[in-house]
Amino acid sequence: MNRFARRAAYRTSMFVLSVVLVIALWEMYKVVGPQDGGKLFGAGVLPRSNDTAMPHVWTMLSRYGRPEVRGSDKRVWVVVLAGAWFSFRLAIVGFLLGSSIGVGLSVVMSRFRLVERGLLPYLVVSQTVPLIALAPLVALWGGKLHIFGFEWPRWFSAAVLGAFLSFFPIAVGTLRGLASAPAAAVELMESYAASWKQILLKLRFPSAIPYMVPAFKLGASGSVVGVVVAEISTGLKGGIGRLIIEYAREATADPAKVFTAVFGAAALGLTMAGVIAISDVYLMRNRPKETSS
């Protein structure tokens, strides 16, 4: 087995191990934890361990195979998968939008120090606005827009909020990356009379990739969070966020059901981050490995 296969096998087994560990902890707490919650040092911090609050892992898993509502022939996994696919597409749109805005802003900021100084504080402030408050506003504004016959579809508000959460880490990470090109390399390019654009494309962006990949990972999971929250607060139907809300209403009668949707949302975020991780392996395939010198 070569080194890469060994490393992949190692990583996979570590992932499986961590999942097993989480399941074991969950089930162990159900055994030892108080049924109706408990107090620790006078504060009610111990969660309830009864089957309503914490269903057994196998109950949750088997819920995927049973019908969504009594008498329906649609099983839960079909509905969750369809919802995840719907939200995934919105998240992709949001991510593409957010990354173009983020990269665009970082290029402008790296070009003009004045813009960086003026703009960066506002970008930071923008991230402190609670998404749950912003979502209905965006839907409201968007609904009133009619530009050149373009009607703002309802789903687009959710994608915009995904973009809103994803652009910030991408802008900040790319900005740092663009600035990471060594001064000597910039000087070399200047000695070749390279233009600003040539330096950007042939030096600054390639040097920025190690900074951009983690930033894009954050941005990708941010777009999922943005879309899910936006679905909930604007009441958009069809996505995983909506499913979480719907299933949560049945939490007392059918506690396992809401977890199926929550896991769906988590899997969505992991998928997005995974796509970026694969592109990382591709982009960095010829770079020096940390181990070699």
Partner 1 sequence: MSAVQVTGASKIFNQGTPKQVDALIDVNLTVEPGEFVSLIGPSGCGKSTLLRLIANLLEPTTGSVMVNGKSASQSRLDQDYGMAFQQAGLFDWRTVAKNIELPLELKGWDKEKRAARAQEMLELVKLPEFAELYPWQLSGGMQQRIAIARALAAHPPLLLMDEPFGALDEMTREYMQGELLRICAETSTTVVFVTHSIPEAVYLSNRVVVMSPRPGRITDLINVNLGAKRTEDTRAATDFFTGITAVREALRGTHADHANAGAVRGVEDR
Instruction: State the minimum distance, in angstroms, from the CB of residue 201 to partner 1.
Output: 11
Q: Establish if 191 lies at the interface with partner 1 (CB under 8 A).
A: yes
Of 122 and 192, CB closest to partner 1: 192
Of 46 and 194, CB closest to partner 1: 194
Longest dimension (CA), the chain: 75
List, in order, residues 6 or more apart from 83 with CB less than 8 Å away. Answer: 238, 239, 240, 242, 243, 261, 264
Q: How far apart are the first and last CA of the chain?
A: 24
Q: Establish if 190 lies at the interface with partner 1 (CB under 8 A).
A: yes
CA distance 173 to 219: 10
Among 182, 237, 249, 250, binds partner 1 (CB under 8 A): 182
Among 20, 22, 115, 188, binds partner 1 (CB under 8 A): 188
Q: Establish if 287 lies at the interface with partner 1 (CB under 8 A).
A: yes
- DSSP 8-state assignment for residue 289: P
Instruction: State the minimum distance, in angstroms, from the CB of residue 104 to partner 1.
Output: 23
Site string for partner 1, 206-245 (x = CB under 8 A): x--x------------------------------------
Of 128 and 291, CB closest to partner 1: 291
Q: Establish if 34 lies at the interface with partner 1 (CB under 8 A).
A: no
Q: Establish if 184 lies at the interface with partner 1 (CB under 8 A).
A: yes
| Pair 241, 159: CB distance under 8 Å | no
Q: What does the block give as tokens for 84?
A: 């995840």
- Stated as kind and residue range, the H or E segment containing 38 is strand 38-40
Q: How far is CA 52 from CA 49, 258, 260, in A?
A: 8, 11, 14
Of 79 and 208, CB closest to partner 1: 208
**Angle made by CA atoms 55, 50, 56, in degrees to the nearest 5:** 20
Q: Establish if 281 lies at the interface with partner 1 (CB under 8 A).
A: no
The site for partner 1 (CB under 8 A) is made up of 182, 184-185, 187-194, 198, 202-203, 206, 209, 286-288, 292
